[in-house]
Amino acid sequence: MRVIVTGGAGFIGSAVIRHLIENTDTEVANLDKLTYAGNLESLASVAASPRYRFYQIDICDAQALDAAFSEFQPTAVMHLAAESHVDRSIDGPSDFIQTNIVGTYNLLEATRRYWNELPSDAKLNFRFHHISTDEVYGDLEGTTDLFTESTPYSPSSPYSASKASSDHLVRAWQRTYGLPVLLTNCSNNYGPFHFPEKLVPHVILNALAGKPLPIYGDGSQIRDWLYVEDHARALVEVVSKGIIGETYNIGGHNEKCNLEVVEGICELLDELVPLASNDERARTYKELITFVKDRPGHDRRYAIDASKIQEVLGWVPQETFETGLRKTVKWYLQNDQWWQRVLNGDYRLDRLGTDI
């Protein structure tokens, strides 16, 4: 395959590219605008591969997209580029509308222009894989209900509404124009190279600095946690073997409330880097937990039924939450240079030292 990955310098996108380069023969073009969440240092291990190339492109730039498609000649597109932080979407929804909706429209049109000119056999084998979120479904009131691929959409935040909109656009481009699309909706990801504003890395780094560990409300919000490298494997399975027009929900089979997640991180840190007995801040990391005012429209529970992707494609997660969280905490302890450069902003400097 020759795959365009949009948003490949982001958390999930970089995991997908590392998996493709390290475990397959796929050629990869990474299209990324390099917003604050894009970090090329997450791709250092594969950047020198002759099968990898990088284009700094905004998916809202139709001309740049056409040029990249023409030069790279992809056999598939994996669309991950998105604004994805719920709190940021509440404070400023405009970027989410522009990137997630307008950007997806521009990418669909660039793909359609390219696809329409392909020879018939290449046209038949082409794939457009749109990667979305379980947040488009809203939340679950019961304790046993699960999101399935047919769950009605009911987004709660500007972020999830913009992703729901992009999902609808992708499906419309198949029904109207025949574009061969695949969709996936995933649960909460965690793992190495996660931008520090998200819950798991934020708690790890705050704890190491002796800062408060903020939890919204009472911490009872439940999420299904998916290790990012498991997710990357699933996405490659879908784009390679998935049935055109189908949607696949991807979950980690690990429902945990936010308080459990934070306490789990604290317990691992107590084991791996215990606080000094005379530390004035706390004796255990759990003592740093602080409950703060809940955010508006905070969904109570997400939970994925991932039986379809298991039955159809044979994918199951390899990590439990306990094994994945241990790997994640250890990674942050062993890779302080990566996250220190994110925290101080140095990751946004190119080799000439200019802001990109």
Whether 139 is catalytic is no
Helix (H) or strand (E) holding 93: none
Identity (one letter) of the amino acid at 338?
A: W
Quickly tell me which residue has 């790279």 as its tokens.
Answer: 72
Q: Which of 144, 133, 1 is nearest to 80 (CA)?
A: 133
Parallel, antiparallel, or unpaired: how do β-strands 289-292 and 247-250 relate?
Answer: unpaired
* Integer angstrom CA distances of residue 13 from 19, 37, 283: 10, 11, 38
CA distance 190 to 250: 14
Give every CB contact of residue 276 below 8 A, 6+ residues apart in sequence.
none
- Interior angle at CA 321, CA 145 and CA 20, nearest 5: 100
Active-site hit among 135, 230, 237, 299: 135
Q: Which of 64, 63, 57, 62 is nearest to 81 (CA)?
A: 57
Active-site hit among 27, 134, 230, 299: 134
| Surface-to-core class of residue 218, CB atoms within 10 Å of its CB (0-12 exposed, 13-18 middle, 19+ buried) | exposed
Whether 159 is catalytic is yes
**Strand ranges (E), the chain:** 2-6, 27-32, 52-56, 76-79, 127-133, 181-186, 188-190, 213-216, 222-227, 247-250, 255-257, 289-292
Quickly tell me which residue has 């913009």 as its tokens.
Answer: 162
Active-site hit among 105, 114, 137, 159: 159
Asked whether 20 and 88 are in contact (CB, 8 A), the reply is no
Q: Which two tokens stand for residue 42?
A: 């997450």
Task: Find the DSSP H helices in the chain.
Answer: 11-23, 62-72, 86-91, 94-96, 104-116, 120-125, 158-177, 199-208, 228-241, 258-272, 307-313, 321-334, 336-343
Query: Which residues are the active-site residues?
Result: 134-135, 159
